[in-house]
């Protein structure tokens, strides 16, 4: 039996403030997410961010929480695990874990260990590599497994930003809206502090040194989250036959006052509304499942800001969720030892 472990980010156990606080504390106390001195991080997270953000975020989570299925991120993650298990069949044990909260990575690894799997293939569910997402998952898994007496044959998917099935899946999801019916297309990725990009630049002389450092995907920037994001967007655009003036790549969900990777989605939305764009199609290709950042931030927040400035409608392209093409992509990654 071979073990496959899917790991996504995590979501609160409920949309109530105490559960959201517990989630944010675990998430934001991760040194790869808020990568500052631990004393400063503790002060920032426990003293400022979590006390103020928890009640606000709880309100947003209540907006996207379904009575029947709970958090969209967990709902689609469970579906992805079940569908991949069905596809791979008996020789494989597919487990799901979340980096923060539940189901925990520790419990999923123990289920694989108890079944004496010969090997474990870990798939962090983030197409583009970032230390704050993929890096954190890999570190946590290695930390836990390193304490086992028998360390299994273990491998990790580091990124899948250019996976052809994933690219086709996003493009197909957009086709049903008729891309030609929109004035402009946005590729809005989750943001990241600029210093986290710079830390991944092993040459110390490329990332953010010029305005066009992400315009090509090359040997120097191949591990950069922003360069991988630009690459994903260009591939989806090419699949849809979009020319470069028909779309904009941007980054959402900035937290705090430090500079994050730019341009910021909210500023791009405002600029395009002021230029007279009426209808926009928005992809969020940093996420493989719909979540707070897509369902609320794009459909409610950016749509509201766009309309307030004269725009008519922002249409979110749904995420990969339970699409058969994405399950095929996962199966390929699972089998590609
Ligand atoms: C310093 C702060 C943050 C970094 C860095 C960060 C990176 C990052 N996050 C994701 C994926 C997701 N993030 C989600 C929610 C979310 N993200 C942050 C902060 C940082 N993320 C916060 C505070 C939150 C919680 C919501 C809020 O209060 O605004 C989610 C959604 C979870 C859900 O339950 O739906 C995802 C998914 C990636 C891929 C990433 C690095 C590239
Ligand atoms: Fe995030
Ligand atoms: Fe870069």
Cα 327 to Cα 320: distance, rounded to the nearest angstrom = 9
Name every protein residue with a CB atom under 6 angstroms from any ligand 1 atom.
Answer: 9, 11, 24, 33-34, 53, 57, 71, 73, 126, 130, 132-133, 190, 192, 225, 253, 255, 286-287, 291-293
Residue 336 — pLDDT band, cuts 50, 70, 90?
Answer: confident
Percent of the chain at pLDDT > 90 equals 97
What is the DSSP secondary-structure string of 86-144?
HHH-TTEEEEEEESSSSSBHHHHHHHHHHTT-SEEEEEES-SS--IIIIIHHHHHHHHH
| Segment 244-297, tens digit of pLDDT | 999 999 999 899 889 999 999 999 999 999 999 999 999 999 999 999 999 999
- For 53, other C-beta atoms within 10 Å of its C-beta total 16
Distance of CA 245 to the CA centre of its chain: 25
| Segment 185-230, tens digit of pLDDT | 999 999 999 999 999 998 998 999 999 999 999 999 999 999 999 9
Task: For residues 294-310, give the mean pLDDT.
Answer: 95
- Name the closest ligand to CA 73: 1
The token duo for 108 is: 């999923």
Task: For residues 100-107, give the mean pLDDT.
Answer: 98
- pLDDT greater than 80 at residue 65: yes
| Segment 142-186, tens digit of pLDDT | 999 999 999 999 999 999 999 999 999 999 999 999 999 999 999
Domains and CATH numbers, the chain: 2-159 (3.40.50.1400), 164-316 (3.40.50.1400)
The token duo for 328 is: 């095929």
Question: What pLDDT score does 337 carry?
Answer: 59
Q: Cβ-count burial of 87 within 10 angstroms (0-12 exposed, 13-18 middle, 19+ buried)?
A: middle
């Amino acid at each position: 039996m071979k073990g496959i472990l899917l790991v996504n980010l995590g979501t609160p156990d409920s949309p109530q403030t105490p559960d959201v606080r517990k989630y944010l504390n675990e998430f934001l106390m991760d040194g790869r997410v808020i990568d500052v001195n631990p004393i400063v991080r503790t002060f920032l997270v426990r003293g400022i961010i979590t006390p103020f953000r928890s009640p606000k975020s709880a309100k947003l989570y209540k907006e996207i929480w379904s009575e029947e299925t709970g958090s969209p991120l967990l709902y689609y993650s469970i579906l992805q695990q079940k569908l991949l298990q069905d596809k791979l069949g008996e020789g494989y044990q597919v487990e799901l874990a979340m980096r923060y909260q539940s189901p925990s990575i520790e419990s999923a690894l123990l289920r694989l260990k108890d079944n004496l799997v010969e090997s474990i293939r870990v798939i962090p569910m983030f197409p583009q590599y970032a230390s704050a997402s993929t890096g954190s998952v890999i570190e946590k898994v290695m930390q836990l497994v390193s304490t086992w007496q028998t360390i299994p044959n273990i491998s990790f998917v580091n990124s899948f930003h250019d996976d052809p099935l994933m690219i086709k899946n996003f493009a197909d999801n957009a086709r049903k809206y008729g891309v030609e019916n929109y004035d402009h297309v946005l590729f809005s990725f989750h943001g990241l502090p600029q210093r986290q990009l710079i830390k991944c630049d092993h040459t110390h002389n490329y990332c953010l040194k010029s305005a066009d450092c992400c315009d090509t995907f090359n040997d120097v920037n191949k591990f950069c989250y922003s360069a991988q994001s630009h690459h994903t967007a260009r591939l989806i655009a090419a699949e849809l036959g979009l020319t470069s003036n028909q779309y904009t790549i941007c980054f959402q969900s900035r937290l705090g006052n430090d500079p994050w990777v730019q341009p910021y989605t909210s500023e791009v939305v405002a600029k395009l509304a002021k230029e007279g764009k009426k209808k926009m199609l928005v992809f969020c290709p940093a996420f493989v499942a719909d979540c707070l950042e897509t369902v609320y931030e794009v459909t409610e927040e950016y749509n509201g800001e766009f309309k307030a400035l004269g725009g008519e409608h922002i249409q979110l392209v749904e995420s990969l969720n339970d699409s058969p093409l994405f399950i095929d992509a996962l199966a390929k990654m699972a089998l590609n030892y």
